[in-house]
Amino acid sequence: MPKRRVPTEVIEGAVVVVALLLMIPAGVLGWVIGNASSGGTTTVTAAEGAEAGSAAVDPQVASGAHLFVQFACAQCHGMQGRGGVSPYVPALTTASKTLTAAQLRQIINHGLGESANPTKPFMPVWGEVISDTQVNDLVSYIRAGLPAVPTATPPVVPTGQGAAVEGSVLYVRYGCINCHGPNGLGGVPNPLSADKTIPPLSGQDFRSEFDTDQKIIDVIQSGSVIGKAPIVSMPHWGGILSQQQLNALVAYLKTLKG
Ligand code: HEC
Ligand code: HEC
């Protein structure tokens, strides 16, 4: 039996469409740059401009800025650590001036011992999840005054595309993926916890233990109290995630393997 083949016209058609789509933003960017520089003396190409933009940032600070977004530090402490998210989560602008590198490393690796109080957000324990290099980069970023770094921005949550799509992006934006794995598959080591691993959010065991939406929402809001450092615990997201965001996360988790 012959293998199923996609007709070449279809492939060619798709290539043309993709090429056209790529040309539109390039054209717009070219026009903007052309116009912006028409009064000046230099003309920069888009590629040179982008390179110059990133070359201006110290690589360790840049790495820290991206990690600050990837591990959702920004979702609790605010973008660039400017606060304003929850009354229980401090801005990091003061800490960036007053805390030593050693103190910052200690706080990031071990939290601040607040996880015994499940009624308000606490600083999570990251030591088993984030490497020493990554912690050092985060410390460099904080001590550099938490500057804005191009493209170190969280993914934009789409609206009007359904709760599951919204939830799938929130799962990345709030850093759930770093601890619970892609597709909620779990497997991230948590050596000193009873299970030795951070639990999956898919599969039969999860589905039978968390058999109502409310049970899932309750644990996301309250976090867990097992987290005495160096055990990684479930962060407390109450007051940080809205009811709509919680519902969207649940809708997404229900699309994963049962
Ligand atoms: C779930 C919310 C949450 C997340 C995510 C989070 N933090 Fe925190 N963080 C807190 C809370 C709450 C405190 C204050 C705890 C306290 O004072 O006991 C805190 C405290 C801190 C402090 C000490 C601030 C001070 O002024 O003493 C630093 C530094 C810090 N966090 C850095 C980070 C970094 C870096 C990340 C990302 C790797 C991060 N946090 C992620 C909630 C969070
Ligand atoms: C710092 C790592 C970390 C992050 C980030 C994190 N979790 Fe967790 N989560 C855990 C750990 C550890 C547990 C297990 C808690 C326990 O056993 O008490 C857990 C438990 C859970 C549970 C209950 C599952 C079970 O079997 O106990 C749900 C649901 C959950 N997390 C959802 C989320 C969602 C949604 C996000 C993002 C908003 C998130 N988690 C972010 C570490 C994390």
Q: Is 225 exposed, middle or buried (0-12, 13-18, 19+ CB in 10 A)?
A: middle
Q: Choose between 16 and 67: higher pLDDT.
A: 67
**Structural domain contains residue 234:** yes
**CB-ligand 1 contact for 76 (6 Å cutoff):** yes
The two structure tokens encoding residue 240? 């940080």
Mean pLDDT of the chain: 83
**Structural domain contains residue 132:** yes
Nearest ligand to the CA atom of 146: 1
Whether 235 and 179 map to the same domain: the answer is yes
Nearest ligand to the CA atom of 223: 2
Whether 231 and 169 map to the same domain: the answer is yes
**Structural domain contains residue 66:** yes
Q: Would you state the pLDDT for residue 202?
A: 98
Beta-bridge partners for 189: 197
Whether residue 238 contacts residue 221, with contact meaning beta carbons closer than 8 Å, is answered with yes
CATH of the domain at 111: 1.10.760.10
Nearest ligand 2 atom to the CA of 72 is: 5
pLDDT digits (tens, 9 = 90+) for 166-191: 999 999 999 999 999 999 999 999 99
pTM of the model: 0.84
Whether 130 and 186 map to the same domain: the answer is no
Whether residue 37 contacts residue 43, with contact meaning beta carbons closer than 8 Å, is answered with yes
Q: Kindly tell me if the per-residue pLDDT of 50 is higher than 90.
A: no
Strands (E), the chain: none
**Atom 43 (ligand 2): residue with closest C-alpha?**
234
pLDDT digits (tens, 9 = 90+) for 240-253: 999 999 999 999 99
**Structural domain contains residue 157:** no
Q: Kindly tell me if the per-residue pLDDT of 106 is higher than 70.
A: yes
Whether 191 and 120 map to the same domain: the answer is no
Number of domains in the chain: 2
pLDDT digits (tens, 9 = 90+) for 115-124: 656 678 999 9
**CB-ligand 1 contact for 123 (6 Å cutoff):** yes
Whether 170 and 244 map to the same domain: the answer is yes
Q: Would you state the pLDDT for residue 74?
A: 98
Q: Among 130, 128, 257, 126, which residue's Cα sits nearest to residue 182?
A: 257
DSSP letters, 71-123, are: TTHHHHH-GGG---S-TTS--STTHHHHS-HHHHHHHHHHTTS-TT-TTS--P
**Structural domain contains residue 217:** yes
Q: Is 184 exposed, middle or buried (0-12, 13-18, 19+ CB in 10 A)?
A: buried
184 DSSP assignment = G
Nearest ligand 2 atom to the CA of 237 is: 38
**Structural domain contains residue 178:** yes
Kindly state the average pLDDT of the residues 27-35: 41
**Structural domain contains residue 10:** no
Whether 167 and 242 map to the same domain: the answer is yes
Q: Among 58, 96, 97, 60, which residue's Cα sits nearest to residue 77?
A: 96
Whether 195 and 245 map to the same domain: the answer is yes
Nearest ligand 1 atom to the CA of 114 is: 18
CA 180/CA 73 separation, integer angstroms:
16
Domain with 210, as residue range(s), is 163-253
Nearest ligand to the CA atom of 238: 1
**Structural domain contains residue 150:** no
CA 161/CA 168 separation, integer angstroms:
11
Whether 137 and 106 map to the same domain: the answer is yes
